[in-house]
Structure 1
Amino acid sequence: MPDSWTFAVARNDLSRTSLTEGATPELAAGEALLRVDRVGLTANNITYAVLGESMRYWRFFPGEPRGLGPEWGLPPLWGFAEVAESATPGVEVGQRLYGYLPPAGHLVVRPERVDGTGFRDAAAHRADLPSPYNAYRSTEGDAAYRADREDLLILFRPLFFTSFMLADQVADNDFHGARQLIISSASSKTAYAAAHELHGRGPRLIGLTSAGNVDFTRSLGCYDEVLTYDDVDTLDPAPAVYLDLSGAPATRAALRRRFGDLLLRDIAVGLTNQVPNAEAAGEVFFAPVQMRKRRQDWGREGLDRRFAEAWHRFATLAEKSLDVQVGSGPSALRQSWLDVLEGRVPPNAGRVVQLG
């Protein structure tokens, strides 16, 4: 193995990849070197690449310092890293952290706000990027962490945060007056985690999925009803809110025909079909907005506590429903990227790659 390496994808063709070798970065005062250890690949990572330009995801881990041209991008990943070197007081070698990581062997960060929960990366190029992505959580100060559930956190935590905040926002708005919540891409991790949070709290939950995923989605027990996309015309035309995680124009059109003015809200949440759907929807859900509200309402500790409680409830379901498939090394990372991109990973499976 080289001292370090970088996996990149072509910004205009996500199936074209590059794996390059390089030297381990050197540190300046006030920096720390993280060794990327274990990461996950889900549809969420593909979304980061699809929205890389418009939502600035390519800017978190710029390729130029790694010798890559502007046509290449580093799709962000979630996972665990360990501090390999530190020139920052309070950041100790060997500390294990969860956070936003590059598809690479190492990451140089500039820690600030260092405390028992971890730190934030204050690197200049990340200063104007969404702050939740700049936090690195120490496993020792994380109420959601359990060593035997690391892979579940890798695969679900960023998705579950979106799910948790989405469910909270919908409930916080008294479900917008709806009698039913319709969720597309219902077999996806983000969708059924949100459904798990919402189930039994008010409106009827209806999941829409492809015919091949109906049995799996029903087995989760998160929805009151699971239908295929072709069954939209059978839905009861009662006041409804649509939470769109698929981005499929045909589904949106069918729901609008079926419900008319009874479709009270049309909220774009994600892009599991890689179709930009923000403009077509009535509104867009962005988790950090609700997070900021709840930090004001509950405080940071209150938000962390509620998140951890919800996570541990959901993790029991996740353990039963997910087949974690673990690969090793940069080549496995590349293969997992292509498999997720091409839709070759079934909804009951999750890809984790050991890199360290």
Structure 2
Amino acid sequence: MPASWTFAVARDDLSRTTLVEGATPTLADGEALLRVDRVGLTANNVTYAVLGDSMRYWQFFPPGPRGLGPQWGLPPLWGFAEVVESTVDGVTAGQRVYGYLPPAGHLVVRPDRVDDSGFRDASGHRADLPSPYNVYRATAGDPAYREDQEDLLVLFRPLFFTSFMLADQVVDNDFYGAHSLVLSSASSKTAYAAAFELHGRGPRLVGLTSPGNLAFTRSLGCYDDVLTYDDIDTLAAVPTAYLDLSGAPATRAALREHLGDRFVRDVAVGLTTQTPNADAAGEVFFAPVQMRKRRQDWGRDGLDQRFTDAWQRFTGVVSGWLDVRVDAGHDALRRAWSETLAGRTPPRVGQIVQL
């Protein structure tokens, strides 16, 4: 088996990267080896790095065993991997799984709770981390999987899960009593997927975006109106909830100034401009929290079915909103990271890297 490799970024300067090669990991009893195959790069991955310390994202794939010092971090990616070796019953070589992966050639996992749907990684360093990120779904047992939609799953599934749970929380809280919902970074995949779920179900949906993304965002048809950030003072002065996916302090300040006491809810969702916004917001949305609530309400199968139904509705339209760009190799991964970090990826482009 060929040597493995790892791509890492400097935790204090995400634009500084390194690539190291090493021996392919060997397994202990109870472990399986995954070969990372196909991953996506979106603003969501940058968010993981920006929040690497505060939300513990750096802890999923520690750099030490890969020969890297603590100043380096491995930004988590979503995608597909293949089991190439296993010491665990029910996890077999050739099995294809979807889940949280390092920017690396291989990943050693300790499969637990193995069934037809896949397994969880029970590695000790992941025991106290949010459980949804430790799930590896076997394609053969995944109701949302279709081979011809792999790239959509890579690019959108984690984002759409966040969007799906965000929309569900908004509905679950009776839209916070708002007459208008305002979403920043409206051209981002997470924002417009949430808007797709919310459109026509209650309050008026208003997207905020940059002038360069205005035409694209309006073309989606999932917002009732789309404005540039400079046009916030034209918003109707009605009870308004803000779903902040940009983290831009100036946007929050402008909304508060314009709406006054009609600014009824302020929820930080993500960071597409890399400005930590949790302290300034009224609250922070974290998808696993709402997921746990709905698992109690609906059960695991009920949640999976609702997600699958929503995913199928979304994939029926999203392919018309996206141009998938596929590149290959770890150098392509480095280029895609740099482009995404710098915000140079057009909203219509989805970046896939075959490793």
TM-score by length of 1: 0.99
CA distance in 1, matches of 2:173, 2:13: 40
CA distance in 2, matches of 1:307, 1:298: 12
Partner of 2:81: 81
* Contact 1:2–1:22 (Cα < 8 Å) also in 2: no
Secondary structure (helix, strand or coil) at the match of 2:91 reads coil
* Contact 1:206–1:225 (Cα < 8 Å) also in 2: yes
**What is the aligned-residue RMSD (CA, Å)?**
0.8
Partner of 2:279: 279
Deviations 1:138-157 (A, max 9, x none): 11111111110100100011
Letter in 2 for 1:92: T
The 5 A counterparts of 1:190-339 are 190-339=190-339
Partner of 1:158: 158
Letter in 2 for 1:19: L
Partner of 1:15: 15
Partner of 1:133: 133
Task: Confirm or deny that 1:189 pairs with 2:162.
Answer: no
CA distance in 2, matches of 1:26, 1:337: 28
Residue 165 of structure 1 and its aligned partner are, at CA, apart by 0.2
Letter in 1 for 2:346: P
Secondary structure (helix, strand or coil) at the match of 1:176 reads helix
CA distance in 2, matches of 1:183, 1:51: 20
CA distance in 2, matches of 1:55, 1:285: 12
Residue 318 of structure 1 and its aligned partner are, at CA, apart by 1.5
Letter in 2 for 1:44: N
Residue 301 of structure 1 and its aligned partner are, at CA, apart by 0.3
TM superposition outliers: structure 1 runs of 4+ over 3 Å: none
Letter in 2 for 1:25: P
Letter in 1 for 2:97: L
Residue 2 of structure 1 and its aligned partner are, at CA, apart by 4.9
Task: Confirm or deny that 1:71 pairs with 2:92.
Answer: no
Secondary structure (helix, strand or coil) at the match of 2:241 reads strand
Letter in 1 for 2:113: R
Letter in 2 for 1:9: V
Deviations 1:93-124 (A, max 9, x none): 11100000000000000000000100000000
CA distance in 2, matches of 1:282, 1:66: 39
Partner of 1:54: 54
Q: How many pairs align?
A: 355
Q: Unaligned 5+ residue runs, structure 2? A: none
Deviations 1:237-257 (A, max 9, x none): 001100000001111001001
The 5 A counterparts of 1:97-108 are 97-108=97-108
CA distance in 2, matches of 1:312, 1:334: 32
Residue 316 of structure 1 and its aligned partner are, at CA, apart by 1.8
Residue 261 of structure 1 and its aligned partner are, at CA, apart by 1.0
Percentage of identical aligned residues: 75
* Contact 1:2–1:21 (Cα < 8 Å) also in 2: no
Residue 66 of structure 1 and its aligned partner are, at CA, apart by 0.6
Instruction: Pick which of 276-285 and 309-318 moved more.
Output: 309-318
Partner of 1:350: 350
* Contact 1:7–1:334 (Cα < 8 Å) also in 2: yes
Secondary structure (helix, strand or coil) at the match of 1:38 reads strand
CA distance in 1, matches of 2:2, 2:271: 35
CA distance in 2, matches of 1:32, 1:182: 45
